[in-house]
Structures are given as structure tokens and as C-alpha cells.
Structure 1
Amino acid sequence: MSQIYSFIASHLRPFVFVLLGWSMLLIPAHAQIDQTKVDDFIRQTAYQQKRPLVEVETIVNQATFKSDIIDKMNRPAEKTMTWERYRNIFMKPERIDAGVDFWTKNEMVLNQISVQTGVSVEAIIGIIGVETYFGERMGNYLVLDALYTLAFGYPRRSSFFKAELSKFFELCAKEGLDPLAIKGSYAGAMGYGQFMPSSYLAYAKSYDSDTGADLMNEVNDGIASVANYLKVHRWDQGGLIAIQANKSENAEALSKQSVKPNKTISYYTQKGYKLTESIDPNTLASLQTMEMEDGSKEYWFTFKNFYVITRYNHSPLYALAVFQLGEAIKEARKVKQ
């Protein structure tokens, strides 16, 4: 009899595992969410924004948990790639050509906003080009789904994304947006410049109106808002962004430097890092080290405006990509004129 049981057990085991696997797939995604926390959020948001509880509840209950969003949050390109690989995503001929076309089509607005804000056209172009390929790739996730997933399924930054989800409700009410229709990135960013809801509320600017801004459909509003963001974060009109440095053979090894410039150029030159251009040695700078695929390094002196770009995205790789893309588009445009 024991042999019969052993035979049955050994032959049924694979089918048991298959059934268990299917049962796991059938568990709804919402099972990964603590509904108590969701209910608390609904009550708090309704109270703070003086909205009917049922209204907030109805919208939130239509959100869908997206597990692939968590996967993407756990491996962002800025933290998993070398500078060389990251740079090659953006510094492609077709993206540069698209940037030239974008500049040409929107030249009047770009020039006008640049004069008004003091922010260079190439900085505005660089950000929109890196963020959304000049408006062609604004994201395919419902913003509601993205923020819901991260607010209640990503504990490491749940407080931040709960706040952004609340701001999303506020934004939709203010601008008359449909919270069930707006699409954006896997992190919940929207529009030409990929603004999070809090940034949308704080920095979005209409090009031709004192109120309202449509960053998803109006390119002029997108341009004005990116420039306004940089201006508010103290963009230095005509200021430097980055200059490549040369490291001498006997240069001192330096620890990772703050992205905020707080040492003079002369400090770094005394350590063995030389400028490739001539500027005032008393200029405040930082020295950023960029990893290449073969293990070698690039060294870049970065300045106040580089730091301002990192207020948009804290990664030095991002800021350098924005700078280089903007400069490449400017140079390509000169050739075509």
C-alpha cells in the first residue's frame, strides 16, 4: 500500500505545483495592497480637499496595481548604467535631428520664453528631448494607476507617492482634467516636461494665459513650464553648465563630490584636474566623475546651472545628458541653417 501512495504522490506532485502556480496568477493584483491604508488615504484626501468621500472613493477604486512599475522603480537607468550607456540612449542622430525640427517649429516661442526667463533655449530643448523625445513619448501608463501602485505598493517611497496621488486629485480638480484618462510615465509624471503632480501645481505655466496650463496637449505651455521650473530654481542667465576636465597622471584621487558647486576651479587644478577651456580660476565648480563601459572615466567640471538641472532630476548623468543633447542640437541646427 505504501508503494501505491508513493507512486501517486510522485506522479501528482508536478500537477500540484502547476495548480498552485495558476492559483497565484489568479490572485488579484489588489491583494498586494493594504486596503486599510487605501481607505485611510481616501478619507484623508476627501477631508483635506473638501470633496465628497464617495467621489474620491469611486476614482481610487478604479485604479489598477501594476507590478511592472515596481520592477522599473527598482532598476532606474540612472542607477544601473554607466555614463557611456546612458549617454548613448539620448545622443543619437535621429533624436538630435528631431530636436532641430522641434526648435525650428517652435523658434518664436522658445526665443520669447528664453528672453523672459533668462533660461537658454538649449537647456529647455535638452530637457524636453531627454524627457519625452520632444513630446512624442509622454508615457503609456494611466497616471492614476502609476501613483496608486507606488503609493500603496512601494513602501520605500510610499509617503512621497501618497502625497503625489493626493496632489493629482487636486490638480485634476483645478485644471478640469479627467483622472481616469491622463497618461504619463511609470512614476506618474506627465506632459512634455514630465511634471509630477506637485510640480505641475507649483511650476506649470500657461504661455498665453494667466491661469491654467495644459502640459499634455499644448507645446507652448510645456516650453513655458520647463523654463519656469529652471528659473524658479535660480537658473543663472548666461552661466556655465559643464566643461570637460583633463586628469593629470599625478592627480589626487578625490572622493565623490557634491553636485552643488562649492569649491573653486583653482582648488581642483591644484589637485591635478585641468580645464579644457579658460575661465576664472575663482569660479565655483564641482568635479563629477563619469564611468565608461571599458572602466575608464570622464571628468567634468560642473557649475551652478548643472546643479539647477539636477533639481529637475537629481542624477548627474541626467543633467549631463540634458546639457550634451541641447548643445548637440544647437550645433546641428547651425549646420542646417
Structure 2
Amino acid sequence: MRATILALPLVLFASAASAQGSFQSCLSGLRSEAAAKGVSGATFDRAMAGVEPDMKIIEAMNNQPEFKTPIWDYLGTLVDEEKVAEGRAMMRQHASVLAAAEQRFGVDRHTIAAVWGVESDFGKAKGRWPLVQALSTGACLAPRRNAFFKGELIATLQIIQRGDVRPERLFGSWAGAFGHTQFIPTTYLRLAVDGDGDGRRDLVDSIPDALHSTANFMDKAGWVTGASWGYEVRVPDGYSGPTGRNPKQPVSSWAARGIVKFDGSPLNGTGNAGLLMPAGRNGPAFLVFKNYDAAYSYNGADSYALAISLLSDRLRGRPGVQGQWPTDDLPLSREQRRELQRLLIARGYNVGEPDGAVGSLTRAAIRDVEAKIGMPPTGRPGEKVLRALKSGRV
């Protein structure tokens, strides 16, 4: 659940030399604030024992992408064949849990599984930062958003005090998202539920708790049982009407503008809809309904909501995006990214493990390859670079 994370501005912080003293002084004040929210001194002291600021967390907060990720790249790794196969396998393995969550909250199992897959790759990528350390670092050394980090830190201490999640298992993102479906601590306190009947709400080590909690989130966000999130459409050439998730209009008004389903059939659906064109007027278009908004509320970004929606469709056996993205350099799947990294390693580049995750080392190597083949050095993992490496041009 990264909506708040994506919205965080650049962080200003003290120099490393003064950070430690500032941190310890801040912790003293936080102890009083936590006590006012019901966190005992004993809980605070145990949780904070030995905790020191980690300036790598500050670097992560300030680290801006080297380029804006195009929507087709974003979807290329989150809704590829590998993810679909994994998702279907996990749905079979946890069929009874998903069925129970669907029955309890009215959110279909394919959507619940899609959130799980996008958020943590079905539990394989739940985050690496100790939550108490990450949030206390942000609370004390990130003055522009210290209120956010303080609130999330105190919520984390409340979770620890209640005993729902073992403290040593509380790892997540630098902004506090944790567990199989990446709730931030304040969202956990509001919406996490017990899914396995043990009286605890453990989103880290209980898959039922995580999946039921995700269904509860979507339900509270306005999910309409049995309704569609939307579907891909065709827009007439030269279309100049409204676009965007909001404001929504009756389906009949979109039909009157000449918009049809991608297969040419008439539009349908209950309630008002928005026309989403995430790559502009030359790319694929989607009519999106209220359930799309529920997915959007989980993260606060159209790219994310579209990934959830499209992955849920693929898990149902429906096709993916059928329109053409406006690019002559198509995105790479995760397996293709691993292949790219293996080829880079074979040519002497240091990119770390060939895991398909494109970090700064891989981007630096790609930039070098791009320069050698006469492309602008963007660091983007696309088909052109992969083809150049496979053909031996580099």
C-alpha cells in the first residue's frame, strides 16, 4: 500500500555528524507522544533498544527515479506471463482462504490475489527495512514529513504492544508498508482483520489475515460486489472529449461519442464511468467504473490501479491489453530482464544478481550499452537494448 509513499516530497535532513544527537533527543520526545497514545514505557523501551538512525533510509527517501517510468514498462513486469502463472498457482494453493474472504467481504478472489501479487509478489518481496528503525529515522530526521512518520511509528508500537505481529518480523518499506499486502501501520490499525481465527491480525506470517484484510480494505473503499472494474475500449480517431478517472459520466454518453468495446461491441456496465487513456490519445483506452476507484484508493496511482485490474482479468483467463502502446521499444518481462542482466554480466558489467529487478547498477550498464549503439543513454530496459546484446552488437 504505497499511496503515501509515492506522495512523499524530497526530504531535508541534518548532516550525518549531527544526526545521532538529534535522533536521540527526538526519541525522548517520541516516548512521551507514544505514551499519550497508550504505548507503555516498557513497550517503547523494548522496541527502541539499540535502534539508531540509518542514513540509507534517508537516501531512499530522497532518491528520485532517473526517468519517469512509462506505463507500458510498469505493466510489463507486474502483469507478465510469469506473474499470471504464479498467481494462478497461488490461487489454487489458497483457494479456500480466497473463497472465504470473497464470501465475507464481497470482493472477488481474483482481485484479492492481484493485490497480493502486485504488492509483494505473493509474499516474496515484503520489504527489507526494520519498521521501527525506518519510521523513527523518518520521524526524527525528515522534518518535512515528520508528522507522517511519527504517526506510523506510534501505530507500529501499538501493533507491537497488542502482540499481533512479532516485533522481529516487522520489516517493510522505508515508509512503513509491511506484510503480504503492504499495509502501512495506521491502515493496519483501521482495517486489518483476523482471517484464520486465532484472535490475532498478523499480515506478515498469516496469509489468511493478509488476504481477508485486503478484501476488507477494498470493501470499505466502495467495492461493488459482482461489478466490473472496467474494460478496454476503442476511441474514434481524432477524439477530443474528456479523459481521466473523474469526472465519471453515464455509459450512454461515452457511447454517444463513438466509443465501443475493443472488440467493436456496444458498451455496457452499471453506473457512471471514466475514460482512462494512461499513455495519451495514441495509446490503449479503458472505461473504468467504481471498482477501479477502489483499487486506486489502495495506492493512489492510475498505473497501480490498472495493474491490479488487468492482473485480475488475466487471472480470470481474460486477455491483457490489446491496443498498442505508443512506443517502438517494447517493455521487457521479468524473464527478459533477467536475460538482459545475464548478457550484461557476460560482457563484464557489474549488475549484481540477475533477478529481473532493475536497479542503479543495471541502469548504468544499460546507459553504457545505449551509448555504444547510438541510443540516448536513458538506462531503460527495453527490447532494443536486449536485441543489441543478443545479436552481439555490443
* TM-score range for the pair, normalised by the shorter chain length: 0.7 to 0.9
Per-residue Cα deviation, 1:146-201 (whole angstroms, up to 9, x for no partner): 21222233333321221111111111111254435521122211111111111111
Using the alignment, how far apart are the partners of 1:210 and 1:218 within structure 2? 10
User: Which secondary structure state, in structure 2, belongs to the residue aligned with residue 311 of structure 1?
Assistant: helix
- Pick from 123, 133, 144 the counterpart of residue 156 of structure 1: 144
Which structure would you say has the larger Rg?
Answer: 1
User: Runs of 5+ in structure 2 lacking a partner?
Assistant: 1-13, 319-394
Aligned residues, how many? 302
Offset at 1:72? 3.7
Alpha carbons of structure 1 residues 147 and 273: separation in structure 2 relative to 1, 3 Å: farther
- Pick from 39, 44, 49 the counterpart of residue 56 of structure 1: 44
1:168 is aligned to 2:156: yes
User: Which secondary structure state, in structure 2, belongs to the residue aligned with residue 138 of structure 1?
Assistant: coil
Deviates more, 1:262-271 or 1:311-320: 262-271
Offset at 1:63? 2.9
User: Which secondary structure state, in structure 1, belongs to the residue aligned with residue 309 of structure 2?
Assistant: helix
Offset at 1:217? 0.8
Check whether the contact 2:39–2:161 (CA below 8 A) recurs between aligned residues.
Answer: no
Per-residue Cα deviation, 1:72-129 (whole angstroms, up to 9, x for no partner): 445677x931111110121222222111110110112212221222111110010000
Offset at 1:298? 2.5
Offset at 1:130? 0.2
Check whether the contact 2:140–2:146 (CA below 8 A) recurs between aligned residues.
Answer: yes
Alpha carbons of structure 1 residues 181 and 206: separation in structure 2 relative to 1, 3 Å: closer
Deviates more, 1:183-192 or 1:54-63: 54-63
User: Which secondary structure state, in structure 2, belongs to the residue aligned with residue 262 of structure 1?
Assistant: strand
Alpha carbons of structure 1 residues 102 and 261: separation in structure 2 relative to 1, 3 Å: farther
| Match in the other structure for 1:17 | none
Check whether the contact 2:224–2:291 (CA below 8 A) recurs between aligned residues.
Answer: yes
Per-residue Cα deviation, 1:278-331 (whole angstroms, up to 9, x for no partner): 344773011222128xx9433221110010111211111101101111221231
1:129 is aligned to 2:117: yes
- Pick from 304, 309, 312 the counterpart of residue 318 of structure 1: 304
| Match in the other structure for 1:219 | 207
Using the alignment, how far apart are the partners of 1:26 and 1:158 within structure 2? 17
> CA RMSD, aligned part only?
2.9
Larger helix proportion, structure 1 or 2? 1
- Pick from 8, 11, 29 the counterpart of residue 40 of structure 1: 29
Equivalent residue runs for 1:263-302 within 5 Å: 263-271=249-257, 273-276=259-262, 277-280=265-268, 283-291=271-279, 296-302=282-288
Check whether the contact 2:228–2:269 (CA below 8 A) recurs between aligned residues.
Answer: no
Alpha carbons of structure 1 residues 30 and 237: separation in structure 2 relative to 1, 3 Å: same
Alpha carbons of structure 1 residues 61 and 287: separation in structure 2 relative to 1, 3 Å: farther
RCO higher in 1 or 2 (8 Å CA, sep ≥ 6)?
Answer: 1
Check whether the contact 1:189–1:195 (CA below 8 A) recurs between aligned residues.
Answer: yes
Identity over the aligned pairs, expressed in percent? 24
Alpha carbons of structure 1 residues 305 and 318: separation in structure 2 relative to 1, 3 Å: same
- Pick from 22, 30, 54 the counterpart of residue 20 of structure 2: 30
The code of the aligned residue for 2:20 comes to H
| Match in the other structure for 2:290 | 304
| Match in the other structure for 1:231 | 219
Using the alignment, how far apart are the partners of 1:176 and 1:280 within structure 2? 44
Alpha carbons of structure 1 residues 75 and 58: separation in structure 2 relative to 1, 3 Å: same
Offset at 1:69? 3.2
| Match in the other structure for 1:242 | 230
Per-residue Cα deviation, 1:37-57 (whole angstroms, up to 9, x for no partner): 4432221112331522x6525
Offset at 1:145? 1.7
| Match in the other structure for 2:182 | 194
| Match in the other structure for 1:91 | 79
The code of the aligned residue for 1:170 comes to Q
Q: TM-score, normalised by structure 2?
A: 0.68
Q: TM-score, normalised by structure 1?
A: 0.79
User: Which secondary structure state, in structure 2, belongs to the residue aligned with residue 310 of structure 1?
Assistant: helix
